[in-house]
Structure 1
Amino acid sequence: MSRWTIEEPTSLDFDGVVALRTTLIAGSVCVLAGGERPSVLVDEIEGPPLVVSHEAGMLNVSHERLWEGVLTWLRSQRCRAVVTVTVPHDCPVTVNLVSADAVITGLSARTSLKTASGDVTLDGVTGEIDVGTVSGAIEAQGLDGRVAFTSVSGDLALAGGSVDALTARTVSGRIAVDVDLAGAGAVEVNTVSGEVALRVPETASAEVTLNSAAGRLDSSFPELERQDRPFGRTVAGKLGDGSGRLSVNTVSGGVTLLGRAPGDAGGFPASGMEK
């Protein structure tokens, strides 16, 4: 096994990488898919050093003495690194963060990312995508495949792409999604108080069920029927041939379902996620 202890800005190249695991406390990490030789570039580092190891194609980047570093960061905020990692597009990636931000682009294998408060940007990522956050915001575009999102108060903004399946669960985070449904694709959203805004093509085919105990329900699809009950309200029905599925369940959050006209580019207006 090759192992490096990084205490200052450094660049490393590798013969081959088949999987990446990164754990950072603070700062930022950028994971890029590229056709060049895999590499790790450390632009900035403060506090405990980073440890980079490479064995049998497994690349690991982490703070040395991780939990000691977490305590140092909690006491003084002096534990951060700015790292850029380039890997093959089909490289599975696992990223664990405390307060560091992350940018991930161009990957096509499994991507797993967990963060406490760091913000995350995903661009052109496909395949199996699993993102979990406590309060960090997730912004994504051009995703394709199966996407799972969980948060406590972190927001999700997803625009563009075609999903086979999207599951999103949050307590109070807001969710804004503008995507195509691939064939029998499914979107399932569950919130407690978080606002939900969904936009799909006007020609989408899906069985739709929107449920809220106390929040408002709005839809631009006239074929969907509304039912108000003493203990909640529902908007439901079938779009097209009903091949896909679109389901939203919330306690007090409002839900808006919009149709996108043919030729209209995906994406919500900037004001769509304003507080």
Structure 2
Amino acid sequence: MSRWTIDEPTTLDFDGVVALRVTLIAGSVSVLASDERPSVMVGGVEGPPLVVTHEAGMLTVTHEKLWEGVLGWLRNQKVRAEITVTVPRDCPVSLNLVSADAVVTGTTARTSIKSASGGVTLDGVAGAIDANTVSGAVEAQGLDGTVSFTSVSGDLTLAGASVERLAARTVSGRVAADVDLSGSGGVEVNTVSGEVALRVPASTGAQVTLNSAAGRIETPFPLDRQERAVSRSVSGKMGDGSGRVAVNTVSGTIALLGRDDDAPEITTPRMEK
């Protein structure tokens, strides 16, 4: 095993990387898919040094004396690092973050992110994507694969995504997604008070179920609507019904919107307050 302790700007190169794991308290980490030689570039370190290890292709970056660093950060002491990592496109990525921000671009294997309050940006990422946050927001464009998102108050924003499956669960976080469903793909969103806005091509085939106890449900699609004293629901079949769209919320507003099939997938839908 090769091991480095880093407390100043440094660049390291590696012969091969088959998996990446980064644990960061504060600062930022950028993971860039590249055909070039894998590398770690540290722009700056405050607080505990970083420890970089490389063993059997597994590349790991974390703080030395991690728990002491967390306690120092909680006491408002300076604990942060700025990191850029280049990896092969098919390299699985695992990020464990406290308040650090993250950017991941171009990877095609599994991407797993756990964050407390840091913001996450995904660009052109494919494969299985799993993001868990407390209050951190996830913004993404050009995704292709499966997406799982769980948060307390963090927002999820997807633009131009082609998904086999999108599963999102939040308490008060907002979910806004402009997506294509591939084949029999499905979208399932559950929130307590978070708003949900989905936009899909007008030709999408899906079985649709939209339920809200107290929130509005808005859609231009010709679906069956039921209004009860304690709940509202919209359901029915779009196109050939091959996919599935299901949204359940207690008090959040739901909007299911359509777009022309040749319309650009640039922005995510917005709902009127």
TM-score (norm 1): 0.97
Give, as a single letter, the amino acid of the residue that structure 1 aligns with 2:256: L
Structure 2 partner of 1:111: 111
Change in Cα spacing, 1:193 to 1:74, as seen in structure 2 (3 Å) is same
Determine whether 1:272 maps to 2:263.
no
The 2-side partners of 1:200 and 1:66 are apart by 44
Structure 2 partner of 1:139: 139
Q: Gaps (5+ residues) in structure 1?
A: none
The 2-side partners of 1:19 and 1:274 are apart by 43
The 1-side partners of 2:67 and 2:121 are apart by 26
CA positional deviation for 1:11: 0.1
- SS at the partner of 1:90? coil
Paired residues, what number?
Answer: 273
Structure 1 partner of 2:5: 5
The 2-side partners of 1:103 and 1:35 are apart by 18
Give, as a single letter, the amino acid of the residue that structure 2 aligns with 1:112: S
CA positional deviation for 1:44: 1.2
Structure 1 partner of 2:261: 262
CA offsets per residue over residues 70-97 of structure 1, 9 Å max, x none? 0111112400000000000000111000
Residues 176, 273 of structure 1: 8 Å contact kept:
no
Q: Between the two proteins, what is the percent identity of the paired residues?
A: 71
CA positional deviation for 1:273: 7.7
CA offsets per residue over residues 125-147 of structure 1, 9 Å max, x none? 11110000000111000111111
Structure 2 partner of 1:235: 234
Give, as a single letter, the amino acid of the residue that structure 1 aligns with 2:270: G
TM-score (norm 2): 0.98
Structure 2 partner of 1:85: 85
Structure 1 partner of 2:96: 96
The 2-side partners of 1:274 and 1:140 are apart by 22
Give, as a single letter, the amino acid of the residue that structure 2 aligns with 1:272: R
The 1-side partners of 2:266 and 2:21 are apart by 31
Structure 2 partner of 1:127: 127
Structure 1 partner of 2:203: 203
CA offsets per residue over residues 222-261 of structure 1, 9 Å max, x none? x211001122010011000000000000000000010011
Q: Structure 1 runs of 4+ off > 6 angstroms?
A: none
Give, as a single letter, the amino acid of the residue that structure 1 aligns with 2:267: F
Q: Gaps (5+ residues) in structure 2?
A: none
The 2-side partners of 1:196 and 1:77 are apart by 38
The 2-side partners of 1:184 and 1:201 are apart by 14
- C-alpha RMSD of matched pairs (Å): 1.3
Change in Cα spacing, 1:240 to 1:107, as seen in structure 2 (3 Å) is same
The 1-side partners of 2:113 and 2:30 are apart by 12
The 2-side partners of 1:2 and 1:176 are apart by 43
Give, as a single letter, the amino acid of the residue that structure 2 aligns with 1:3: R
Matches within 5 A, 1:8-47: 8-47=8-47
Structure 2 partner of 1:226: 225
Matches within 5 A, 1:46-61: 46-61=46-61
- SS at the partner of 2:145? strand
